[in-house]
Structure 1
Amino acid sequence: MGSPVRRLLRARLRTTILIVSGAAVAVLAVGAFALVNGDESTKPASAAESAPQATTAFQDRPRTGPTRASRGQPRSPEPSPKKTKSPKSKPDSSAGHVAKPVKKKRHKVVESGSCKASYYWEGQMTASGEPFDPSELTAAHKTLPMGTKVRVTNKNNDRSVIVRINDRGPYAGGRCLDLSKAAMKKVGGTGAGVIPVRYEVLSRG
């Protein structure tokens, strides 16, 4: 066995080791506790806010329509739509009346006859002094006054046209009228060139 001094030193050394070990264990425990509390305190506040609230799920929302309890109560009348004034229709004075057919103006026939008619289209000066226009409804006659209106009817198809005498002719045998090209086209005789016609003098120039 050692001396008493050595035994005392050993006892103190053991006590010191135990104290240091206990202090170290205490420090580690405190640090671990602080770490655990720090993690819990650092959780984002948004997580708590985003958690569904049980109280709001059962709140009664305001109702726009009438509830069952209020159906028996008087309601305020709904606003009636604005009425737009429709234009008043004037009474039809012709209602119930049969429309009368429009009477065509009848020309008084001064003279009538039958002959053959030809047509011409060359640009020239007419006997009346006006330039000949093949697109106008005009005709040449030997003796009728200038400006006389004559109804000419194609005997082959009964098509007719009223022409104005502004020239003299024709001088070929058997023909009494020389129509402009437009007038002959009206009665459908441009293909034949010479057609049998019935003429009616409506007025003398």
Structure 2
Amino acid sequence: MNLQKTLLMICVCVGLAACSGGLLSRDESKGFSQQGEASFYADKFQGRLTANGERFNQRAQTAAHKRLPFGVKVRVTNIANNKSTVVRINDRGPFVSGRVIDLSKSAFRRIANTQEGVIDVKVEVIER
């Protein structure tokens, strides 16, 4: 039964991602840049499966993006203080209007105080 739930969740995530403007290929992601809002995962997601099948870890340098391929590394820069961090895309989202990326809590802490909750960022693909 647990396997069925997992497979259903993966199918739903892939379906949602396909409806969000289309996934970019690795070649299409070259030079990709985007500005918008970033937030971080709530603690309740710790240990849950991400869209690529990994267990989510708040201490990992990972993130969710709607269109970038899994495994792509991006530099996320806080526009307010120019601090940046590099994360690997392993999940889909965010599904909140205006947000372009969801970061693990440890990645968010590298560029902002978690009390801020949502920050303006620039996202740039650095490694495909």
Q: TM-score, normalised by structure 1?
A: 0.45
Choose the corresponding residue for 1:126, options 41, 47, 50: 50
Question: Is the counterpart of residue 145 in structure 1 residue 66 in structure 2?
Answer: no
Aligned residue runs from structure 1 range 42-191, under 5 A: 110-120=31-41, 121=43, 122-123=45-46, 124-191=48-115
Question: Is the counterpart of residue 201 in structure 1 residue 125 in structure 2?
Answer: yes
The Cα offsets for residues 154-200 of structure 1, whole Å up to 9 and x where unpaired, read as: 01111100000000000000001000000000001411110000111
CA distance in 2 between counterparts of 1:164 and 1:171 reads 18
CA distance in 1 between counterparts of 2:117 and 2:86 reads 18
Unaligned runs of 5+ in 1: 1-108
Identity over aligned pairs, percent: 50
Say which SS state the counterpart of residue 191 (structure 1) adopts: helix
Q: Is the 8 A contact 1:189 1:195 kept in 2?
A: no
Deviation at 1:119, TM superposition (A): 0.4
Q: What amino acid is the match of 1:182? A: S
Q: What amino acid is the match of 2:97? A: G
Bigger mean CA deviation after superposition, 145-154 or 109-118 = 109-118
Deviation at 1:203, TM superposition (A): 2.2
Unaligned runs of 5+ in 2: 1-29
CA distance in 2 between counterparts of 1:191 and 1:197 reads 16
Alpha-carbon RMSD across the aligned residues, in angstroms, is: 1.1
Runs of 4+ with >4 A deviation: none
Q: TM-score, normalised by structure 2?
A: 0.72
Say which SS state the counterpart of residue 115 (structure 2) adopts: coil
CA distance in 1 between counterparts of 2:59 and 2:95 reads 22
CA distance in 2 between counterparts of 1:190 and 1:128 reads 25
Q: What amino acid is the match of 1:134? A: Q
Q: Is the 8 A contact 1:141 1:177 kept in 2?
A: yes
Higher relative helix content? 1
